[in-house]
């Protein structure tokens, strides 16, 4: 395609991307460098139905004057990025010098909100992504081998988890693992512990969310793999059967290499999706045991009565950086292949 | 004939004058939390909307919507029904308007005590009071020979006795859902211990002390007597637990008693449910509870006509004697003519015992937020009380610095 026509094809999509993705990211980036102005507090008399007392309020007159001069707030540089609720550089170096063992150091750092969230996010990513790829591939292979007559309904059943709204899907599981739900109650009997609670145990909550993640994302991998399997040429497969290759060998040496680019694609998308894990934490009310980076942003924006724009923006930018880092190896590899193909 | 006509006209005019407050223009759009008393109030306000547009949003997520919605100009809502805590972010960001002139002009039925004034400016008009207090199952207590608990130490002892008797596995319940609810329980218990959240009126935190540790230990003791899923239970969830007969002692909002004691559900449980005073803790004499008011505020970024229409409709409700007579069961109304019933016991006792109102300080929301997430690990048993309180203070200080309070 000539560059000129490519440009006009791409133009509308590009414009929308710049307007709705590019500019907001830039604005988020700018906001992350600002903090609120120093609050000007004044003592006043406050009266309510329970009596009067002297206490402080924000002085609106003085504040509005400062706000008019500098509407963005106070320039804070990377201050928000390195404070305790984010990268916590001071705390980390302090822990390093006062900890006697590496284990103690890791324990202390893991107690900081950002690292706590990062550990969960990475664990989720690292476990869910391969499981999704593997499960999706196995389901696609099995369905591909099944008689065409029943394939339709089976495919529909398989992609059901993806059709169900994430929040609804997680709520269903949430009620099942309740201390009085079918899974929760049976676990209590099975483990002979009447005080066992899936929801209050950190490990069990993580496992639940991870299982939910695999359940929810596998259909996507399955659909893409299934489509790719339809393009596998029959001749080499037949030739290998004649050569006496087992089913496993056929999959390993012919099917997998053929659909390899698709696997990369699914891996990329899954990694990106999983790094932004959010809905199951809300659906499972798991804020107490599992926090992800996306949840931190949400928390800064809505959970406080005061909205922390700077904090939320800093975490957002770091999430973007995190996704880029995770994707780099895969992208580099794709790039190399692209070059060699040429 | 003429007489009849006059009478008819009079009747017609009379009813019209009664039903609406003769509001001719403007639009009214209300944002409020979702519980029965607020629904009643808004319905009463609607009676008098006249020819003004009338819209309302009842949402349990009201706190999350309020600031962004009122920041817009013109703002989405003309009225925000707020409480001690939720009025603070609105005032911090200068989003609500003083209504002294409107009170003077249209606020005839409103009592002086209903006005929330800041430096003489009327920022809100309160219409009901609320608190968290104990609910007990008299039948279960009687069966086990337990007196109605007056302190949280007695609550723990009673719950342990009920559990030991094999009657209930999880005899106690309170809204311990991680986040706002859990932090609220800490606030109550800490105030019950006589704690102050900030150092000498400033914004420096002051919870990492013996009182804070005692507070956390008491919360842990109570949590161990609750359903193990307590970290996911909000007020609605524990209400369901109560109605299923799984709980004998509970700390819950007074405003939730209406739906708890309605005709739905097991009549035996409803009959045995008794509302009692909030408990004290640690030998203190003020209850481990905070007093709350609910009132209405007017958005600043709305036209004067809308503000006037909104005020007149809301003031009609906030001074309606018929409403408080009809809905005496739903809340402890602060409106003139309210006769307290058995469901008002909790709030009235709390006031009598000298309960403190929830601190209406500009930085309190940040402290509340830090508490809600940082004390969870202590309750799960993964952290010491000292470490948890240290974490709360550190998280709070970071946020307070970003917000310019420190």
Q: Mind listing the pLDDT tens digit for each residue in B241-258?
A: 999 999 999 999 998 887
What is the share, in percent, of chain B residues with pLDDT greater than 90? 69
Distance (Å) from the alpha carbon of B91 to chain A's nearest alpha carbon:
8
- At B5 the pLDDT is 52
Contacts of B112 (CB under 8 A, 6+ apart): none
* Whether B97 and B182 share a structural domain: no
* Whether B155 and B275 share a structural domain: yes
Return residues 107-136 of B near A (CB < 8 Å): 113-120, 126, 129
B85 at interface of A, judged by CB pairs closer than 8 A: yes
> Which CATH number belongs to the domain containing residue A217 in this structure?
1.10.3720.10
Residues of B whose CB is below 8 A from A197 = 227-229
* Whether B184 and B323 share a structural domain: no
- At B3 the pLDDT is 54
CB count in 10 Å sphere of residue B357: 19
Task: Tell me the residue range of the domain where B15 lies.
Answer: 2-127+292-339
Our CA dihedral for A327, A330, A332, A337, rounded to 10 degrees, sits at -150
Residues of B whose CB is below 8 A from A80 = 402
Contact B404 A38 (CB under 8 A): yes
Q: How many domains does chain B contain in total?
A: 2
* Whether B198 and B272 share a structural domain: yes
Asked whether residue B346 is domain-assigned, the answer is no
Q: Which pair of tokens denotes residue B370?
A: 């830090």
- At A286 the pLDDT is 87
Angle between helices B210-224 and B180-192 in degrees, nearest 10: 120
Asked whether residue A166 is domain-assigned, the answer is yes
* Whether B231 and B88 share a structural domain: no
User: Could you report the per-residue pLDDT of A125-159, keeping only the tens digit for each?
Assistant: 999 999 999 999 999 999 998 888 899 899 998 88
Q: Confidence class of residue B17 from pLDDT cuts 50, 70 and 90? A: very low
* Whether B268 and B297 share a structural domain: no
Asked whether residue A176 is domain-assigned, the answer is yes
Q: Confidence class of residue B16 from pLDDT cuts 50, 70 and 90? A: very low
Asked whether residue B212 is domain-assigned, the answer is yes
Q: Which pair of tokens denotes residue A131?
A: 């499981």
Contact A111 B377 (CB under 8 A): yes
* Whether B273 and B160 share a structural domain: yes
CA–CA distances in Å: residue A213 to residues A128, A208, A274, B195: 6, 9, 8, 43
Q: How many domains does chain A contain in total?
A: 1
Is 90 exceeded by the pLDDT of residue B303?
yes
Return residues 2-61 of B near A (CB < 8 Å): none
- At B14 the pLDDT is 41
What single DSSP character describes residue B232?
G
**What would the mean pLDDT of B207-224 be, rounded to a whole number?**
96
Contact B291 A85 (CB under 8 A): no
* Whether B77 and B169 share a structural domain: no
B398 at interface of A, judged by CB pairs closer than 8 A: yes
Distance (Å) from the alpha carbon of A119 to chain B's nearest alpha carbon:
16
- The most confident of the ranges A125-134, A238-247, B43-52, B355-364 is A125-134
User: Could you report the per-residue pLDDT of A227-273, keeping only the tens digit for each?
Assistant: 999 999 999 999 999 999 998 999 999 999 999 889 988 998 999 99
* Whether B156 and B11 share a structural domain: no
Contact A288 B178 (CB under 8 A): yes
Asked whether residue A163 is domain-assigned, the answer is yes
* Whether B257 and B373 share a structural domain: yes
Asked whether residue B261 is domain-assigned, the answer is yes
Task: Tell me the residue range of the domain where A291 lies.
Answer: 112-341
Residues of A whose CB is below 8 A from B180 = 303
* Whether B276 and B297 share a structural domain: no
Beta bridge partners of A74: A35
Contact A200 B230 (CB under 8 A): yes
Asked whether residue A34 is domain-assigned, the answer is no
Contact B403 A41 (CB under 8 A): no
Contact B360 A178 (CB under 8 A): no
Q: Confidence class of residue B12 from pLDDT cuts 50, 70 and 90? A: very low
Please provide the size of chain B in residues: 406
B369 at interface of A, judged by CB pairs closer than 8 A: yes
Asked whether residue B348 is domain-assigned, the answer is no
Asked whether residue B345 is domain-assigned, the answer is no
Sign, CA torsion B212/B214/B219/B223: positive
Asked whether residue A325 is domain-assigned, the answer is yes
Asked whether residue B80 is domain-assigned, the answer is yes
Contact B293 A37 (CB under 8 A): no
Asked whether residue B322 is domain-assigned, the answer is yes
Mutate to test the interface with A, among B130, B292, B403, B405 (most CBs of A within 10 A): B403
Is 80 exceeded by the pLDDT of residue B4?
no
Which residues of chain A have a pLDDT value below 50? none
* Whether B99 and B18 share a structural domain: yes
Q: Could you give the ipTM of this predicted complex?
A: 0.82
- At A69 the pLDDT is 87
Cβ atoms of B231 and B177 within 8 Å: the answer is: yes
> Which CATH number belongs to the domain containing residue B398 in this structure?
3.40.190.10
Asked whether residue B344 is domain-assigned, the answer is no
B228 at interface of A, judged by CB pairs closer than 8 A: yes
**What would the mean pLDDT of B268-280 be, rounded to a whole number?**
93
């Amino acid at each position: 395609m000539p560059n000129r026509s490519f440009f006009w094809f791409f133009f509308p999509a590009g414009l929308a991307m710049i307007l709705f993705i590019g500019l907001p990211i830039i604005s988020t980036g700018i906001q992350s460098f600002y903090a609120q102005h120093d609050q000007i507090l004044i003592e006043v008399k406050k009266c309510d139905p329970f009596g009067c007392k002297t206490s402080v309020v924000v002085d609106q007159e003085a504040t509005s004057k400062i706000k008019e001069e500098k509407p963005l707030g106070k320039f804070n540089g990377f201050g928000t990025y390195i404070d305790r609720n984010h990268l916590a550089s001071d705390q980390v170096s302090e822990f390093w010098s006062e900890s006697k063992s590496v284990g103690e150091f890791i324990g202390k750092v893991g107690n900081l909100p950002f690292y706590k969230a990062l550990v969960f996010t990475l664990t989720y990513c690292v476990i869910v992504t391969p499981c999704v790829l593997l499960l999706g591939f196995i389901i696609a292979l099995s369905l591909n081998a099944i008689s065409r007559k029943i394939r339709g309904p089976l495919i529909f059943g398989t992609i059901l988890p993806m059709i169900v709204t994430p929040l609804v899907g997680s709520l269903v599981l949430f009620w099942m693992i309740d201390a009085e739900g079918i899974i929760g109650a049976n676990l209590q009997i099975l483990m002979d512990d009447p005080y066992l609670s899936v929801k209050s145990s950190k490990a069990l909550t993580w496992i639940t969310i991870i299982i939910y993640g695999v359940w929810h994302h596998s259909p996507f991998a399955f659909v893409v793999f299934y489509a790719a399997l339809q393009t596998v040429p029959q001749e080499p497969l037949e030739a290998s059967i004649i050569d006496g290759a087992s089913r496993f060998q056929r999959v390993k040496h012919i099917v997998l290499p053929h659909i390899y680019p698709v696997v990369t694609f699914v891996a990329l998308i899954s990694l990106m999706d999983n790094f932004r894990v959010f809905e199951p934490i809300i659906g499972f009310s798991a804020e107490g045991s599992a926090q992800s980076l996306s949840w931190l942003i949400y928390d800064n924006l809505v959970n406080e009565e005061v909205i922390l724009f700077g904090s939320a923006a800093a975490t957002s930018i770091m999430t973007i950086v995190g996704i880029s880092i995770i994707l780099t190896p895969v992208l580099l590899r794709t790039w190399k292949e692209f070059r060699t193909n040429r | 004939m003429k007489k009849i006509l006059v009478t008819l006209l009079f009747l017609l005019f009379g009813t019209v004058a009664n039903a609406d407050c003769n509001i001719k223009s403007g639009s009214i759009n209300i944002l409020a939390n979702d519980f029965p008393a607020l629904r009643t109030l808004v319905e009463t306000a609607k009676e008098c909307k006249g020819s003004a547009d009338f819209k309302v949003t009842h949402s349990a997520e009201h706190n999350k919507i309020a600031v962004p919605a009122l920041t817009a100009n013109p703002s989405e809502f003309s009225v925000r029904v707020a409480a001690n805590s939720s009025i603070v972010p609105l005032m911090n960001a200068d989003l609500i308007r003083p209504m002294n002139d409107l009170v003077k002009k249209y606020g005839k039925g409103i009592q002086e005590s209903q006005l929330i004034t800041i430096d003489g400016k009327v920022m809100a008009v309160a219409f009901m009071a609320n608190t968290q207090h104990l609910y007990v199952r008299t039948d279960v207590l009687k069966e086990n020979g337990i007196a109605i608990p007056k302190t949280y130490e007695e609550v723990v002892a009673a719950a342990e006795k009920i559990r030991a008797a094999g009657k209930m596995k999880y005899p106690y319940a309170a809204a311990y859902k991680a986040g706002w609810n859990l932090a609220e329980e800490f606030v109550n218990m800490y105030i019950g211990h006589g704690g102050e959240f900030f150092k000498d009126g400033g914004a420096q935190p002051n919870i990492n002390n013996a009182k804070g540790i005692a507070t956390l230990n008491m919360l842990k003791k109570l949590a161990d007597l609750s359903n193990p899923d307590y970290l996911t239970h909000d007020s609605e969830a524990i209400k369901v637990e109560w109605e299923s007969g799984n709980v004998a002692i509970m700390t819950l909002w007074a405003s939730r008693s209406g739906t708890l004691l309605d005709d739905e559900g097991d009549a035996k449980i409803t009959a045995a449910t008794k509302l009692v005073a909030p408990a004290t803790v640690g030998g203190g004499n003020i209850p481990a509870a905070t007093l709350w008011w609910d009132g209405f505020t007017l958005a600043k970024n709305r036209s004067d006509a809308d503000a006037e229409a909104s005020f007149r409709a809301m003031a009609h409700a906030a001074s309606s004697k018929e409403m408080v007579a009809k809905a005496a069961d739903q809340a402890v109304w602060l409106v003139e003519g309210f006769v307290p019933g058995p469901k008002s016991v909790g709030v009235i006792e709390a006031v009598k015992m000298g309960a403190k109102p929830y601190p209406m300080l500009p930085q309190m929301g940040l402290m509340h937020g830090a508490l809600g997430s940082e004390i969870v690990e202590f309750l799960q048993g993964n952290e010491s009380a000292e470490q948890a309180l240290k974490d709360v203070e550190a998280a709070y200080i970071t946020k307070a610095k970003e917000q310019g309070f420190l």
